[in-house]
Amino acid sequence: MRCIAGTAIAATLALLLAGCGGHHPSETACKAAMKQQYATALATGRQGHEPAACKGLSDAVLQKLAGQVLSGQ
């Protein structure tokens, strides 16, 4: 059940992060924020929102980072 919930949360996170614009964010900061949010979501079952550290990254980068977070890299 946790895997299904985690996958659903990650998919929602990727969708929420799509289409961001603005400053030049750090992939490292974004990935750290995603990891924190994913851990919180698994522990509490709460759905996350777009981390501020991820604003401005391309959809491709966000998807790459979300994949890394999910695979534990």
Residue 69: what pLDDT?
A: 95
Q: Are the CB atoms for 73 and 40 separated by under 8 Å?
A: no
> What CA–CA distance (Å, rounded) separates 17 from 54?
7
| Structural domain count, the chain | 1
Residue 54: what pLDDT?
A: 95
Whole-model pTM?
Answer: 0.65
Q: Could you tell me the pLDDT band of residue 70, with boundaries at 50, 70 and 90? A: very high
The stretch 46-70 carries a mean pLDDT of: 93
Residue 49: what pLDDT?
A: 86
Please name the residue ranges forming H helices in the chain: 2-17, 27-44, 59-71
- The CA radius of gyration of the chain, in Å to the nearest whole number, is 11
Segments forming the whole domain that contains residue 36: 2-71
pLDDT tens-digit readout, 14-50: 545 544 444 567 999 999 999 999 999 999 998 888 8
